[in-house]
Structure 1
């Protein structure tokens, strides 16, 4: 049941169009009979004309119809048809080097494609297509194909241009990358917002909310630690964690089985293992975790290790609160 205090909080989030509240609530507007998501661009109703719901189903059962502007029955991060069309086009011919006429043939405006891809993936369409080509080049080089053959097969006539593009994306020149590790990254939509995953074929290395502050630095640190190239794609651990997250947010799963790698100092790993021991639905304080580790005065170090966690949800740093029972900080945002 939504409390009066939550109603005020949700109304403030509605007025400010706060993205963190996507999936947390829906608002029914009594004067229009429609219900919307928190970030709906429509004119905001008065507080007394709002009725808040935790699920879209509750709003529908209360006789509200879905808003045509914000489409509350689709996912807040729903992939547009344009993005879907271009992703499919890349997969049909991943070696292709895109030019303006290619967009024209698909009746797509190049600037619109650039903007939508940037919003969705954090990179432009051309950068996405280039990363896909470079992923193929890396695969060919690792399989023993000469660099010149990988260069030509991925559409680069200039050796220097190929080396520069390869190094910019992969972090190593192609002649040095034959034994490099490859990690793949993918986007996962969840009830609490989009998350980014990074994994190889065996284990998950990173699971984090896309809008987390400092995410770019996290990814770069991971790339340096693993000495890996990070390219768009999917692996078994990525598919596994996506399925488990869906079950988790549906309330059907409490323990994650997807294999994961914990890259940190010995102390950080100790803290993370202790976090995993916090039972589902319970909380602990920073000081109590420090005491469990036999270092009662190290609660600040525990808090720092908590913040360095690169596997959100799986390592439940969200279950750690202040000693007085109040929320402290959370990398994914206190609203979550």
Structure 2
């Protein structure tokens, strides 16, 4: 059940597009330079005839290539660039600060470099993140009963219209409609195979997905509808708990998760998810196996839909479901991640 590399033309297109889907799982050796790179490397792209694709760092070394000094293929997947980590710390250290490009220049950063790095790692710019954090602080005050003007000033907005626009862009609702309501918080969690977005309340986790999953905006919209709530950036005890458990999982010291979950699905869908959790780490099941265990032998397609509707990646291990012929099948986080997770679990199971 090894992951078979796509054809060379597909991988070369991924190289040209700097597609992150294969990051950490496929590497390119460049015969004209003698180096091997991630497919996301920002260096000038080689000609097709000068490329060789490999599924491991070891294979690259065996073929005589040395690691690229620009994309650093030996570093863990998902590792943040130093400037990203430094600016995120600065953002947390000064939560009331109204950041601008001039501030970045004073700290010795080029604004365009910062913008590209944050888009690459987190999907939005540093200044956008700072504005959303400020809007989130304002929301907290509104929900707690403060007036809109007090919340606006606490969030550092000079303009009332600017504050309202920020809230509407974030949530699709006007500030006055938020007062007295419970809301969900979201924050990033770093893992060796890419950043994840965790959404939770004070007690439980509602969503955990890889940030580069294309269906993530749709999942967030569905979550807001299901909970009749809003989602803003911030931390909760549940997010802290799942982050600690994920750290242990990737270190190979934990195979079960204990952080409380809030599940959003039909009775049948939840029954399928219960069967997924029951699959031992290091093992796999087919869709037909899951259907039989759930008491619906003929509901293989329904099981596949329930599997795809899972919004709690890794914790509800839909990656442990494979095709009837033993092949890897679709996975929202990318087949390379599914392969990585199964290999990882076989090592420590």
Q: Do they fold alike, i.e. is TM over 0.5? A: yes
Go from structure 1 to structure 2 and tell me whether the alpha carbon gap of 1:144 and 1:38 turns closer, same or farther (over 3 Å shift).
same
Matches of 1:134 and 1:19, distance apart in 2? 30
- Indicate conservation of the 8 Å contact 1:22/1:39, yes or no: yes
Matches of 1:116 and 1:284, distance apart in 2? 39
Go from structure 1 to structure 2 and tell me whether the alpha carbon gap of 1:327 and 1:86 turns closer, same or farther (over 3 Å shift).
closer
Measured after TM superposition, the shift of residue 215 of structure 1 is 1.3
Per-residue CA distance 1:39-67 (angstroms, 9 max, x = gap): 444776999998968568x9899998653
Per-residue CA distance 1:91-138 (angstroms, 9 max, x = gap): 343333334433333343333333332222222223211111112112
SS of residue matched to 1:268? helix
- Indicate conservation of the 8 Å contact 2:145/2:180, yes or no: no
After TM superposition, the score normalised by the length of structure 2 is 0.79
Q: 1:146 aligns to what?
A: 147
- Indicate conservation of the 8 Å contact 2:30/2:50, yes or no: no
SS of residue matched to 2:336? coil
Per-residue CA distance 1:70-110 (angstroms, 9 max, x = gap): 22343343333333343333334333333443333334333
- Alignment map for 1:172-211 (pairs within 5 Å): 172-211=173-212
Q: 2:96 aligns to what?
A: 95
Measured after TM superposition, the shift of residue 10 of structure 1 is 10
2:245 is the counterpart of 1:244: yes
Q: 1:225 aligns to what?
A: 226
Matches of 1:63 and 1:238, distance apart in 2? 44
- Indicate conservation of the 8 Å contact 2:152/2:160, yes or no: yes
Go from structure 1 to structure 2 and tell me whether the alpha carbon gap of 1:31 and 1:299 turns closer, same or farther (over 3 Å shift).
same
Go from structure 1 to structure 2 and tell me whether the alpha carbon gap of 1:61 and 1:182 turns closer, same or farther (over 3 Å shift).
farther
- Indicate conservation of the 8 Å contact 1:197/1:204, yes or no: yes
The answer to which of 196-205 and 113-122 deviates more is: 113-122
Per-residue CA distance 1:16-47 (angstroms, 9 max, x = gap): 44533333366888998866545444776999
SS of residue matched to 2:252? coil
- Indicate conservation of the 8 Å contact 1:181/1:226, yes or no: no
SS of residue matched to 1:205? strand
- Indicate conservation of the 8 Å contact 1:276/1:315, yes or no: yes
Q: 1:22 aligns to what?
A: 23
- Alignment map for 1:276-315 (pairs within 5 Å): 276-315=277-316
2:275 is the counterpart of 1:274: yes
Matches of 1:184 and 1:303, distance apart in 2? 29
Matches of 1:100 and 1:281, distance apart in 2? 48
Matches of 2:302 and 2:134, distance apart in 1? 43
Q: 1:335 aligns to what?
A: 336
The answer to which of 310-319 and 88-97 deviates more is: 88-97
Per-residue CA distance 1:172-210 (angstroms, 9 max, x = gap): 322221222232222223233332221222211111122
Aligned length: 332
- Indicate conservation of the 8 Å contact 1:113/1:125, yes or no: yes
Q: 2:262 aligns to what?
A: 261
Matches of 1:314 and 1:191, distance apart in 2? 16
